[in-house]
Amino acid sequence: MVYVVKNRQDFNMKMAEAGNKLVVLDFCATWCGPCRIISPKVEELAGTYAAKAVVLKINVDECEELAMEYNVTSMPTFIFIKNGIVVDSFVGGNAEKLVKNMAKYAEEVCEPNAVTQ
């Protein structure tokens, strides 16, 4: 399920609740054609990865502060966050790229204190 962010406080709460799940920020606008076109795919992926990912839809006109914080200049912009760190982002309604990134980052296990050899 895609959650529509209401404001900064709401965003902070949802980020905290996400824990170690992948967080996908979907920066969009009601007047944005590509945003409307890719929206059903975003909803589908949010359902598919519900156990491993949280999808937050952020309207840039209602949450300008968040859009500025994440340097969003075009819509849609997708930002992928894992353990509080931005791991990837892209601009545009590219459904294929969205599918690949969701699969990649939702399945990836990030151990904050893992030792690599």
CA distance 111 to 117: 14
Catalytic residue among 28, 32, 63, 110: 32
76-108 tens-digit pLDDT: 999 999 999 999 999 999 999 999 999 999 987
Instruction: Give the pTM.
Output: 0.91
The first and second tokens of residue 92, run together, are 């545009």
| Phi/psi-derived region of residue 51, left when phi > 0, alpha when psi is between -120 and 50, beta in every other case | alpha
Sorted by where each starts, the structural domains of the chain and their CATH numbers stand as: 2-107 (3.40.30.10)
Note if 35 is an active site residue.
Answer: yes
The first and second tokens of residue 56, run together, are 């937050």
Phi, psi of 41 (to 5 degrees): -70, -40
Note if 63 is an active site residue.
Answer: no
